[in-house]
Amino acid sequence: MKKSIIIALLLCGVFAQAQKKWTLKECVEYAIENNISIKQSELDIEVTEIEKLTAIGNFIPTLRAGAGVQENTGLSFNPTTNQAETETFLSANGSINAGYNVFDGLRNIRQVQRAKISNIASQYRLSKMKDDISLFVANAYLQVILNKANLEVLVSQNQVTKEQIKRTQELVDAGVLPKGDLLEIKATDASELQSIVGAENSVQLSLINLAQLLLITDYENFDIEERTYNIVDEGIASKNVDEVINAAKTNRSEIKIAEQNLELSKKDVQIARGANLPSISAFFGYNTRYTDRDELNSFIDQLSLNDGISYGLNLNVPILNGFNTKANIKRSKINVLRSEFQLEQAKLDLESTVYQAYVDTKGSLKSYEAAQLSVESQELAYQYAKDRYDVGLTNAFDFSQSKLRYDNAIINANRAKYDYIFKLKILELYFGIPASELKF
């Protein structure tokens, strides 16, 4: 009985998992959590944390301790008397040494500052990558929605065709319509069934594409939530293009990354210049020794009798090193200029991209509005053709053509709708709305 219950629970769990319907939010969150590129970017942040730890560690004094034990046979120097002796004796020594970098041309301070800037730049790169992944997933998700909506249209309209076949059969049997009309409607049905198969394949392929973005391999059981996504406009589309561009320059990670890269290159110049300045280091050392040749003093007594202390300062003044420092400074200055150009290019690229996104959004809105008008017109034309066909005033071919135009108008309207939704979300993202707060 217990075994049966366990099996039943396992089957329920498998069934529940197979029936899971993924929401857009779940897909985006799952992608951000599992995407390999994002994980690598997160590792880059950890590396910058290590760099920061290393830079801070340069301010901490170094401390080393050492000890040794040896036995000497033959002519050897007694470490406590520093006299040569031809005896076998045991000796030991120990030492503690500390060092501290008092001044190194401010390079340690600059390294800490550089590590912090590098960390910020890595966080901006991670943020941009999350935004990009979120849009990729949203686009793939909306493509599934579009394909499903188109499939639903085709299936629904095919039901109408099947009803027309029954109606036409009755009219043919009654002698009202010629048999050719029935054959025409049946041909339309066959063509629609073929389109339905193609639409089903499109749905499955788009689901596979979305699953691959999420790194999910169970394609057979993967599916999304069944719902309709409406156009949610936060008022961005009505804003002036210059306002959107200025907001993008302030908020987008592309600009912030380029700005941090410029700061990094400037900091490298300061670090390189620090090599021209003198460096001062302090040191302290303590050492002691023991030998078994000293029979008058104990081990503890010898440690205090034979110990020594050394301390002082070291001054290192750079004079000539083959122009390495000078070359490093020039190289760093060139990198500053390169970073400045990259920042300017990033601003230009972003301005061009946002302007294009703005134009695309406006254009897709017009396309959607035109598609809606087309649906309304084709629906009226289709209903008119249907009414005429039902009373025998038009033939099956003309009716089928009218129905086909109506079906295509709905499919085009669906495509225009989701195209506008996606482009509108891109524009909102550029305006500064986080990807996690985009509303669909």
Domain count, the chain: 2
Domain of residue 35 covers: 21-60+104-277+322-437
Q: Are residues 309 and 401 in the same domain?
A: no
pLDDT at residue 16 above 50? no
Confidence of residue 19 (pLDDT cuts 50, 70, 90): low
Calpha distance 290→302 (Å, rounded): 6
- Residue 15 domain-assigned? no
Do residues 267 and 294 share a domain?
Answer: no
Mean pLDDT (whole number) for 137-142: 89
Say which residue, 117 or 188, is predicted with more confidence: 117
* Mean pLDDT confidence for 433-437: 76
Q: Whole-structure pTM over 0.85, yes or no? A: no
Mean pLDDT of 406-434: 88
Has residue 11 been placed in a domain? no
149-153 contacts at long range (C-beta below 8 A, 24 or more positions apart): 149/228, 149/414, 150/199, 150/202, 150/411, 150/414, 150/415, 151/196, 151/199, 151/200, 151/202, 151/203, 153/407, 153/410, 153/411, 153/414
Taking all residues of the chain, what is their mean pLDDT, rounded to a whole number? 87
The answer to whether residue 3 sits within a structural domain is no
> CB 364: neighbour CB atoms within 10 A?
20
Task: Let me know whether 382 and 341 are in one domain.
Answer: yes
At residue 312, the pLDDT reads: 93
327 and 311 both lie in a single domain: no
- The answer to whether residues 269 and 385 belong to one domain is yes
CA distance 75 to 406: 111
Q: In this predicted structure, which of 77-91, 173-187, 313-327, 408-422 has the lowest mean pLDDT?
A: 77-91
Residues 90 and 226 in one domain: no
pLDDT of the residue at 179: 85
SS (H, E, C) the chain: CHHHHHHHHHHHHHHHHHCCCECHHHHHHHHHHHCHHHHHHHHHHHHHHHHHHHHHHCCCCEEEEEEEEEEECCEEECCCCCCEEECCEEEEEEEEEEEEEEECCCHHHHHHHHHHHHHHHHHHHHHHHHHHHHHHHHHHHHHHHHHHHHHHHHHHHHHHHHHHHHHHHHHHHCCCCCHHHHHHHHHHHHHHHHHHHHHHHHHHHHHHHHHHHCCCCCCCCCCECCCCCCCCCCCCCCCCHHHHHHHHHHHCHHHHHHHHHHHHHHHHHHHHHHCCCCEEEEEEEEEEEEECCCCCCCHHHHHHHCCEEEEEEEEECCCCCCCHHHHHHHHHHHHHHHHHHHHHHHHHHHHHHHHHHHHHHHHHHHHHHHHHHHHHHHHHHHHHHHHHHHCCCCCHHHHHHHHHHHHHHHHHHHHHHHHHHHHHHHHHHHHCCCHHHCCC
Task: Return the pLDDT at 64.
Answer: 95
Q: Would you say residue 10 lies in a domain? A: no
Q: Which of 317, 337, 371 is where one domain is finished?
A: 317
Residue 82 lies inside a defined structural domain of this protein: yes
| Mean pLDDT, residues 396-409 | 85
Q: Do 388 and 312 belong together in one domain?
A: no
% of residues, the chain, pLDDT over 90: 44
- Looking at the domain assignment, is residue 208 inside a domain? yes
Does residue 294 surpass a pLDDT of 80?
no
Sorted by sequence, the CB contacts under 8 Å of residue 363 that are 6+ apart come out as none
- What does the pLDDT look like over 144-189, one tens digit per residue? 988 998 898 889 888 888 888 888 888 788 877 788 888 888 888 8
Q: How many CB atoms lie within 10 A of CB 15?
A: 9
Is residue 122 pLDDT above 70, yes or no?
A: yes
pLDDT tens digit string along 356-374? 999 999 999 999 999 999 9
303 and 227 inside one domain: no
Phi, psi values for residue 313, rounded to 5°: -125, 145
Do 219 and 301 fall into the same domain? no
Cα 78 to its chain centre, rounded Å, is 67
Percent of the chain, pLDDT > 70?
Answer: 96
| Listed ranges 85-99, 294-308, 321-335; the one with the highest mean pLDDT | 321-335
